[in-house]
Amino acid sequence: MEGRARAPAAGTVLNALATGTGSAFAIDAYTTATVELTDTAGVEGEIADAPDADTRLIERCVELVVERFGDGQGGRVRTESEVPMASGLKSSSAAANATVLATLSALDAREEISREDACRIGVQAARDAGVTVTGAFDDASASMLGGVTVTDNTEDELLAREERDWSVLVWTPPERSFSADADVERCEQIAPMAELVADLALDGDFARAMTVNGLAYCAALDFPTEPIVEAMPLVEGVSLSGTGPSFTAVGEHSALETVRDIWTERDGNTWLTTTQTDGAQTR
């Protein structure tokens, strides 16, 4: 039994670390999972081009799906990604979503569960694997459903979903930043700003929410604000994505090309893409 699926990466509108409310938007870059199930117990995971990477998340996704819809199967799961790991672009959520859908496909159980609930399986796997502080339902829901989502991560509740047709600019520095290592207590100190961002997001003002989030979380997590300040006059919204180190900006393509010329002067990878509204899909 074999299944294959892919899920998009995402950028941040509101980081959920301060209050538990989060918001994210899907972007046109993908992680693909291939799952092969057998009657042999145990799940073995592999991440392409990263032989030493932690595979507990994707293995746990397979286990949870099999526990609910299977009959004790084990097997293998392999992910390949266009999204750099530990970059703030929701690579873990994309990998979890792709793995869950690929496992459901292998079990011929895709129609037995909604995409929202399939997303919650990946969120539980992320908690079990210890790769997230909040459960990251905001990131996972944007990746699974596409578009822009607003969520209550304390209850894994979807508060809103809308679609935006933006071009997206991403700058990823060479360093990595793991979400589970973030200073939660320091982030909680900016809760009043996070509450303002949540109000903006629930009003559909995602771009302005994004910029306020970026300035607040750069201060809390000790990232530079210069990329945000440089982009603000030209774009609709710009932010630190997740707990960094990537920054994302959204707006008109021509304006983002101008910002790209500025951001590419720094080390790392700068690239243009678009928002994604279809979410994760079996292949």
Amino acid at 38: T
Q: 58 Cβ partners below 8 Å, 6+ apart? A: 33, 45, 47, 77, 79, 95, 96, 99
**Cα–Cα distance between 208 and 223 in angstroms, integer?**
19
**DSSP summary character for residue 180:** G
Instruction: Pick the closest to residue 9 from 102, 136, 159, 106 (CA basis).
Output: 136
- The confidence score (pLDDT) of residue 86 equals 82
* Mean pLDDT, rounded, for 168-180: 86
Over residues 195-237, the pLDDT tens digits come to 999 999 999 999 999 999 999 999 999 999 999 999 999 999 9
Q: What are 94's two structure tokens?
A: 């994309």
Over residues 145-169, the pLDDT tens digits come to 999 999 999 999 999 999 999 999 9
Which strand ranges, in their side-by-side order, compose the sheet holding 167-172?
Answer: 237-240, 247-251, 167-172, 269-274
Q: How many CA atoms lie within 13 A of 51 on its CB side?
A: 0
Q: What is the pTM of this model?
A: 0.96
Find the helix or strand (DSSP H, E) in which 218 lies. helix 206-221
Confirm if 62 and 99 have CB atoms less than 8 A apart: yes
Q: What are 3's two structure tokens?
A: 């299944």
Confirm if 73 and 109 have CB atoms less than 8 A apart: no
**pLDDT class for 176, splitting at 50, 70, 90?**
confident
Name residue 168's beta-bridge partners.
250, 273
* Mean pLDDT, rounded, for 265-277: 97
Amino acid at 91: S
